[in-house]
Structures are given as C-alpha cells and as structure tokens.
Structure 1
Amino acid sequence: MAAHTSFFFFIFLLTHFLFYSSPTTFASFSPNHIPPTCDDHEKSALLQFKDSFIMDDCDPKFEGWKLDGSDCCWWDGIECDGITGHVISLDLSSSCLSGSINSSSSLFQLLHLRSLNLAHNDFNHSSIPSALGHLLPNLAHLNLSYSGFSGPIPSSISNLSKLSSLDLSRNHDLLLRNPDFKTLLRKLGNLQVLHLDGVDMSSTVPDDILANSSSLLSLSLVDCNLQGEFPTPIFQLPKLEVLFLDSNPNLTGHLPDFHFSTTLRKLDG
C-alpha cells in the first residue's frame, strides 16, 4: 500500500511541475509540442551576414548553412527560442571571418538576439558598429574579444542595459573614452562579467564602483592604462570572485586586510 501511495504522489508532483512550469519548460516536456522552425527572414539575414565576409573554409560549421529546406535553428552556431523560433544566440567564434561589420549589416535584422559571440575572428582593424547598441536591445551576452576591432568603443554600447557579460578583450587599439569607464559601469548595472583586457581607458577607476557594480562576479582590466589610486571599495563588492589588474604601471594603491568572508577566489594585480 505504501508503494502505491508513493507512486501516485510522484505522479502528482510531476504533473504539478509540468503544469506550473514556464511555457518554454512545459513545451519541452509536452509530447504534442512541435518545435517551431526558423523564421525565413532571419534565415536569409544569417546567410547574408555569412556572405559578407571573406572566408578560407577553415571552419566546417557553414557547410550546413544553405538556402534550401533546412531549418536554420539546426545550423551550427545558432540557437532559436523554443516557442517563437526566433534566433536568440549566434556563436561564430573562431570561424575564420575576415572583413568588417557596418551598421547596415543583416546582423541587425536579428532583433531577438540575446547572445552574440564573434570572438577570435579578424575584423581588420575596423570599428565596432554603433548599431549594436541601437538595434540589438535584448543582448545579454556580447563577446568580441580577440577579433581585430580598433578605435573608440561606440557610446551606444551603454544602451545595452540587459547585458550580464561583456568581453572586448585584446582588440587592436580599442579605446574607451565616451562612454568612459564610470558611465559604462553606471549604465550597465546588470553586468556579472566585464573583461576589457588591453582596452586603453587612460582613466581612473571610479571610487563609487560599489554603488554601480554590485552584480559583478568577474572583472578583468589587464593592461588598460589605468591611472591614479585604485579604490579599495571594489574589494567589498558582494559577489566579486575574480579580479585581474596587472600590467597597469600607473595604478597605485594597496590591498586591504581580507577576512575569511570575502568572495574573491582569484586576484592578480
């Protein structure tokens, strides 16, 4: 009798979970759910974006990218929303892309993107397009590291208020001027990961960083031409686990007395 009771209790719990789950979770468990196919307009935009670059066929991920009956939600590097079918993630890292991205690029027709990774490509010292901050407002993850961008980081980047991770590390002569570091932190208050290694800031670290960066888990500012005294309140950030500050010879300051309650796990400065 106890075994029967346990079995029916398990069925009750499972039914309760499926009923009250979010639509996406429920759909993934429902045997009648048919995953949506890729939007034709977004499929065409992806192909136009790919074709705007010079490639030496070193990455096989594009072999399946074809304007035929294939569903772009199944293409390598693409993730679609399980309910709407809209493209929400584009990962073309290390894809041998060579060229530049202008503000009329078909990339900016992917209005539902939440994650964009173009790291480890070669954008030939071109600028980061300002349209990123104007036309992709849903971005939560942006990685443009090691990709040959140069010049000033566009001010529109601070419009991406949903960003939780931003990595612009190790690009050629990339500058952070407008927005400056303080403005960037203030406007991107949801950041958990901020990596700007090699970006020339030529500025001090704002002393009110504690007020604007309470969500930060990882902060890497290696070789950023930081100046002045480093504010010790940064060590009081409640979630900070990783802090890298080395190769900033004009940065002064000292480490505070740490307590066992600190969240820091990696520190290099």
Structure 2
Amino acid sequence: MTLTNIDHEKQIYCFKVFYAFLVVLLLRMNNPCIGCSEREMQALLAFKQGLVDDGNILLSWGREVQNKDCCQWDGVYCSNHTGHVVKLDLGDQSLQGLKHLDLSSTNLSDVVGWLEAVNMLPKLTDLIYGCNLPPPIISSVSVMNSSKSLVRVDLSYNNLNSSIFQLLSSTHTNLVELDLSWNNFTGVVGWLEAINMLPKLSNLILRVCNLPPPIILCFVMNSSKSLVHVDLSDKQS
C-alpha cells in the first residue's frame, strides 16, 4: 500500500468521524429533551404518591425503562430549549389527593397566574412557595383557595408586594400559620389590618420584610386573640 493510499484512507476516516459527530450534534439541537433529570423525575413520582388515581390516569409515570423519560409522561411538559419540566396540566383528570404542595428551591419568577392554579386545588391545606414568585394578579374572582381549606401558608423568599396583603384582607380563610419572610414590603400600608382579618391565625412570621410601622387604630392586633407566636425581626441571621 502506497503512502498516498494511506493518507487517503485517513482522510476518509476523519471525514466519517466528523460526519458522525455533526449528526449527533444536530440531533441534540433538534431534540434537546432526551430525558428529564433524575431529580425532576423523582419529584414528580413523589407528587404522584400523594394522589389518588383510581383510573390509572398517570400510568405512564413510572421508573420502568419505557417510562424513564418524564418529558413523555401524560400532563408533563418540558422546555424545548433546556429539557427541564416547565408545566403540569392535570385538569379534568378526576385525580384526588391534589393537600400539601411544596415548590421550594425552584425558579418560578416568570410564572403568571399562579394564584389561579392554587385556586384549582380545593383540598389544599399546606402551601409552600419559596421560588421567586412574582406578585399575584388580583381580580374580582381570584380569592386565595376558594374552598378555604388552606391552614398553613409559607410564601417566604419570593418577590411579593402589597397585593398579597390585599388578597389576604379580601378573603376569610382558616389560616393558622403564615410566613411571608424575605419579601420586600417597603411602603405597604394597612398590613396590620390584613393580618387582623385572619381570626384563627396563631403563628405569624414576617422576618426581614422591610415592613413599615403599623398604623394603630381603634383595634388590637388580631382581635380574636389567637396569635401565639409573632416574629417581625429584621435580623438576617
């Protein structure tokens, strides 16, 4: 075999390697969601365990090889750019359970209509949203959990403003615990009146919120005298 033939075969081999690499790259660009992350899959499966699914609506949610990609699960939507789960749509599925919701350590800063989503969970008792939530959009029909089932609400570490107090003051809930720490409430007027509208509230935490001094009128804090623990400190430790 001559030196020329050897060089020619090397060129062909290099071309084949480059072509294979290019094909794989294009496939990944066109279909980045090869599979959701293990963490997201485990979170969804944990969520499924808290549901009553008598009709096997979530049969595709599983750890089996054929169901390993949670982006292909019924009601699960993934981003075409990142492959991460960005949406759950389980409406009209006759699912039951839908009582403790914890979305901490996720980034929901661009989510619109999260309050309406909460309203669709009539049996929800515990709500934990520490995920950079924007202020809720308050409308005439958007009330905090219309079934009044919420007992514990933790909306700390978000981007809420005075609208959350407007929301609380316009509804009659059965809230026992409320944590709105680490939100910026500078300039909020009437927050004490809003708290006073929660007759069953016993545990109130408003740490590091830049709250202005309350306007004291002819009523006392929490007229039902249900409050047992109040934390309004501005210390960050």
For the aligned pair, the TM-score class normalised by the smaller chain equals 0.5 to 0.7
Tell me, yes or no, if structure 1 residue 57 matches structure 2 residue 38. yes
| C-alpha distance in 2 between matches for 1:230 and 1:138 | 35
- Residues 217 and 127 from structure 1, CA distance in 2 versus in 1: closer, same or farther, beyond 3 angstroms? same
Q: Quick check: 2:175–2:201 contact (8 Å CA) kept in 1?
A: yes
Q: Calculate the TM-score normalised by the size of structure 1.
A: 0.49
Matches within 5 A, 1:38-77: 55-58=36-39, 61=42, 75-77=45-47
Matches within 5 A, 1:207-218: 207=193, 209-210=195-196, 212-218=197-203
Measured after TM superposition, the shift of residue 164 of structure 1 is 0.9
| C-alpha distance in 1 between matches for 2:176 and 2:222 | 15
- Residues 124 and 214 from structure 1, CA distance in 2 versus in 1: closer, same or farther, beyond 3 angstroms? closer
Q: Quick check: 1:108–1:136 contact (8 Å CA) kept in 2?
A: no
Measured after TM superposition, the shift of residue 184 of structure 1 is 0.8
Measured after TM superposition, the shift of residue 159 of structure 1 is 4.1
Look up the match of 1:169. 156
Look up the match of 2:136. 153
| C-alpha distance in 1 between matches for 2:226 and 2:105 | 29
Q: Quick check: 1:128–1:149 contact (8 Å CA) kept in 2?
A: no
**Which amino acid is the alignment partner of residue 42 of structure 2?**
K
Tell me, yes or no, if structure 1 residue 126 matches structure 2 residue 118. no
Look up the match of 2:50. 79
**Which amino acid is the alignment partner of residue 50 of structure 2?**
E
**Which amino acid is the alignment partner of residue 218 of structure 1?**
N
- CA RMSD, 1 decimal: 3.9
Matches within 5 A, 1:15-54: none
Q: Quick check: 2:199–2:222 contact (8 Å CA) kept in 1?
A: no
Measured after TM superposition, the shift of residue 190 of structure 1 is 0.6
| C-alpha distance in 2 between matches for 1:209 and 1:124 | 26
Measured after TM superposition, the shift of residue 138 of structure 1 is 2.7
Q: Calculate the TM-score normalised by the size of structure 2.
A: 0.54
Q: Secondary structure at the match of 1:174?
A: coil
- Residues 59 and 135 from structure 1, CA distance in 2 versus in 1: closer, same or farther, beyond 3 angstroms? closer
| C-alpha distance in 2 between matches for 1:59 and 1:127 | 21
Gaps of 5+ in 1: 1-51, 66-74, 88-96, 249-269
Measured after TM superposition, the shift of residue 84 of structure 1 is 9.8
Tell me, yes or no, if structure 1 residue 106 matches structure 2 residue 89. yes
- Residues 243 and 128 from structure 1, CA distance in 2 versus in 1: closer, same or farther, beyond 3 angstroms? farther
Once the two structures are superposed, what CA deviation does each residue of 1:83-102 show, in whole Å capped at 9, x if it has no partner?
A: 99999xxxxxxxxx95644x
Matches within 5 A, 1:193-212: 193-201=177-185, 202-204=187-189, 205-207=191-193, 209-210=195-196, 212=197
**Which amino acid is the alignment partner of residue 135 of structure 1?**
M
Q: Choose between structure 1 and 2 for higher RCO, CA contacts under 8 A separated by at least 6 residues.
A: 2
User: Considering only CA atoms, is the larger Rg found in Structure 1 or Structure 2?
Assistant: 2
Q: Quick check: 2:143–2:171 contact (8 Å CA) kept in 1?
A: no
Look up the match of 2:8. none
Measured after TM superposition, the shift of residue 221 of structure 1 is 1.4
Q: Secondary structure at the match of 1:138?
A: coil
Gaps of 5+ in 2: 1-32, 59-82
Look up the match of 1:192. 176
Measured after TM superposition, the shift of residue 236 of structure 1 is 6.0
Tell me, yes or no, if structure 1 residue 247 matches structure 2 residue 234. yes
Tell me, yes or no, if structure 1 residue 142 matches structure 2 residue 127. yes
- Residues 107 and 82 from structure 1, CA distance in 2 versus in 1: closer, same or farther, beyond 3 angstroms? closer
